[in-house]
C-alpha cells in the first residue's frame, strides 16, 4: 500500500509549519470525537495505538460581542451553569439535554449504518433495518433554527453563540443545518483535545502508524491523473493500483480523472459549488494562556468572529519556555480578493487588548490563495461541504464511484465535521471495502 502526498509534510488542512522557534498549526488545531463509539476513538482502537492528546476543559471559551464570556465545559452541569449565569432568563436545559441525547444516538447510527453518506434509496433501507434509528428521522426534517425557536431560544445573543459553534463545526448557520447535524456540531466544544506537539505531533504519530503497518509514504509525489487502475504522477511516473482511494476535494478530483470517470466527477464538482475560504494568522507570544481554544465574536464589518488556538503551555515542541504559538482563523468567501493586512489589523488589535499580550513575534498570514498553494485545494476552498437543511439527503457524494478501482474520502465526501468527519468517512469506506 502506498500513500502519495504532494507536499513535503503530511496533514493538508491539518498540517503545520515552522517559523523561528515556533511550530504552528496551519489549519485545524482541535481534535474531537475520540470517545468510545466516536470516529477517532474507533480508529485508534482499530490501530491499537493512540496519539498523545491533551484534554481541554473548557473545550472552547466563547467571547460574545456583548462582552459575555462562556466556558463550554466537558461536564454538562458546568456548561448549564455557564449558560444559566449568562442568560438567566432563557430555558436552556431541555434544548441541551436533547442535543446531548441526539448526538449520542447519531454517532451510534453512523456505527450501525455503514452506507452513509447515502446516495441510493437502497442505502436508506439500511436505516430501516435498525428501527431504533428511525426515531431520528424527524430531526433531519427540522432546522436547528426551528428547534431553537421551539425551545424559546431564538434570542439574538444566543444565536451569535450557536451560529458561531455551527460555523466552525458544520460550516453553516442554524437556518441551514438540519437539527440532527446541529446536535452533533453543537456537542463538539464539550470534548476538544490539543495534540501534544500540535498537528506536527499528530501527523508524526500517523506517519509512524503508516510505516509500522507497512504503508509506503511518498511525500512530494503529486498525482496528475487517475482512473481504470492507474495513477499518473506529475513526474511522469505511472503506477498501477487495484484500489485508488482519493483524499482530494471534489473540485480537484474532476480535473484529474481519466476515462469514463471524468464526466461523473465533473458532474459532482459542478453540483457542489464551492466552500468557504479562510484568513489565517500565526505568531508567537510571551504568555501562559491555559485554555487553548477561544472563539471571539466581534461583529465587525470585516471580521464577524475569529478562532484562536494557543499551544499548550510548556509544550516545548511548539514554543520556547514561557512562550506560546498562536494560530488564528476566520471564515472568508474564497472568491473574494482579501486584503490580509486589513484582516490582520482588525484581529490583532482586538487580540492584544483582550488577552493583554502587547507584542507578537514572527507574524505570518494566510489567505485562500495560501491554502491553494500548500494543499492544492482548488480556489482555496476549505472546511468541507456542509450537510444543508432541505437538501436531498441522497445528493451527498458517495465514497464509491462508477470506476470499480476508484473510491473517495475527505471533507467533501463526509459532510461537515473536520478531521472527525474525514475519519468517520474513512471508517465507513473501510467497512464497505471489507464487506466486498
Ligand X SMILES: Cc1cc2nc3c(=O)[nH]c(=O)nc-3n(C[C@H](O)[C@H](O)[C@H](O)COP(=O)(O)OP(=O)(O)OC[C@H]3O[C@@H](n4cnc5c(N)ncnc54)[C@H](O)[C@@H]3O)c2cc1C
Range list of H helices, 15-112: 39-47, 76-86, 93-112
CB of 150 to ligand X, least distance (A): 29
Q: Are 221 and 210 in contact (CB under 8 A)?
A: no
Q: Give CA–CA dist 253/238, Å, rounded.
A: 17
CB of 13 to ligand X, least distance (A): 3
Strands 216-218 and 2-4, how do they pair?
A: parallel
Question: What cell does 70 get?
Answer: 462562556
Task: Please tell me the number of Cα atoms within 13 Å of 181 on its side-chain side.
Answer: 32
Q: Which is nearer to ligand X, 54 or 151 (CB)?
A: 54
CB of 223 to ligand X, least distance (A): 4
CB of 221 to ligand X, least distance (A): 6
Q: Which is nearer to ligand X, 269 or 329 (CB)?
A: 329
Q: Are 366 and 279 in contact (CB under 8 A)?
A: yes
CB of 277 to ligand X, least distance (A): 8
Question: What cell does 378 get?
Answer: 482548488
CB of 376 to ligand X, least distance (A): 3
Q: Which is nearer to ligand X, 7 or 379 (CB)?
A: 7
CA angle 74, 80, 81 (to 5 degrees): 100
Q: Which is nearer to ligand X, 86 or 375 (CB)?
A: 375
Question: What cell does 37 get?
Answer: 463509539
Q: Which is nearer to ligand X, 173 or 247 (CB)?
A: 247
Q: Which is nearer to ligand X, 151 or 340 (CB)?
A: 340
Site residues, ligand X (CB under 6 A): 4-7, 11-14, 27-30, 222-223, 247-248, 252, 278, 280, 329, 375-377, 382-384, 410-411, 418-420, 422
- Residue that the C-alpha cell 473517495 belongs to: 408
**CB-count exposure of residue 36 (10 Å: 0-12, 13-18, 19+):** exposed
Amino acid at each position: 500500500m502506498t500513500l502519495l502526498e504532494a507536499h513535503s509534510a503530511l496533514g493538508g488542512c491539518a498540517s503545520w509549519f515552522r517559523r523561528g522557534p515556533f511550530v504552528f498549526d496551519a489549519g485545524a488545531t482541535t481534535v474531537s470525537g475520540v470517545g468510545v463509539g466516536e470516529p477517532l476513538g474507533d480508529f485508534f482502537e482499530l490501530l491499537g495505538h493512540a496519539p498523545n492528546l491533551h484534554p481541554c476543559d473548557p473545550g472552547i471559551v466563547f467571547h460574545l460581542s456583548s462582552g459575555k464570556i462562556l466556558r463550554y465545559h466537558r461536564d454538562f452541569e458546568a456548561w448549564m451553569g455557564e449558560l444559566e449565569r449568562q442568560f438567566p432568563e432563557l430555558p436552556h436545559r431541555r434544548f441541551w439535554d436533547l442535543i446531548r441525547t441526539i448526538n449520542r444516538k447519531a454517532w451510534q447510527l453512523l456505527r450501525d449504518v455503514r452506507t452513509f453518506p447515502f446516495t441510493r434509496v437502497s442505502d436508506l433501507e439500511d436505516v430501516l433495518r435498525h428501527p431504533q434509528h428511525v426515531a431520528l428521522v424527524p430531526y433531519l426534517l427540522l432546522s436547528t433554527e426551528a428547534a431553537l425557536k421551539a425551545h424559546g431560544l431564538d434570542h439574538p445573543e444566543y444565536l451569535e453563540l450557536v451560529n458561531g459553534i455551527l460555523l466552525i463545526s458544520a460550516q453553516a448557520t442554524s437556518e441551514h443545518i438540519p437539527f440532527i447535524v446541529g446536535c452533533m456540531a453543537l456537542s463538539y466544544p464539550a470534548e476538544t483535545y490539543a495534540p501534544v506537539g500540535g498537528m506536527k505531533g499528530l501527523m508524526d504519530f500517523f506517519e509512524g502508524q503508516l510505516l509500522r503497518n507497512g504503508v509506503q509514504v511518498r511525500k512530494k509525489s503529486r498525482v496528475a491523473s487517475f482512473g481504470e487502475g492507474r495513477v499518473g504522477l506529475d513526474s511522469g511516473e505511472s503506477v498501477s493500483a487495484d484500489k485508488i482511494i482519493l483524499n482530494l476535494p471534489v473540485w480537484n478530483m474532476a480535473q484529474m480523472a481519466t476515462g469514463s470517470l471524468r464526466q461523473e466527477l465533473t458532474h459532482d464538482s459542478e453540483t457542489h459549488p464551492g466552500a468557504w475560504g479562510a484568513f489565517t494568522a500565526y505568531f508567537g507570544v510571551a504568555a501562559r494562556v491555559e485554555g487553548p481554544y477561544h472563539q471571539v465574536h466581534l461583529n465587525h464589518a470585516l471580521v464577524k468572529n475569529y478562532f484562536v488556538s494557543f499551544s499548550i503551555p510548556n509544550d516545548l515542541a511548539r514554543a520556547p519556555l514561557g512562550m506560546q504559538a498562536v494560530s488564528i482563523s476566520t471564515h472568508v468567501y474564497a472568491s473574494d480578493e482579501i486584503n490580509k493586512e486589513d484582516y490582520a489589523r482588525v484581529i490583532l488589535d482586538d487580540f492584544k487588548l483582550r488577552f493583554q499580550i502587547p507584542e507578537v513575534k514572527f507574524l505570518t498570514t494566510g489567505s485562500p490563495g495560501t491554502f491553494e498553494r500548500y494543499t492544492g485545494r482548488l480556489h482555496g476552498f476549505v472546511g468541507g461541504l456542509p450537510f444543508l437543511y432541505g437538501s436531498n439527503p441522497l445528493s451527498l457524494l458517495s465514497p464509491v464511484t462508477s470506476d470499480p478501482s476508484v473510491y473517495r474520502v475527505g471533507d467533501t465526501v463526509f459532510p461537515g465535521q473536520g478531521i472527525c468527519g474525514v475519519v468517520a468517512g474513512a471508517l465507513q469506506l473501510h467497512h464497505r471495502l471489507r464487506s466486498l
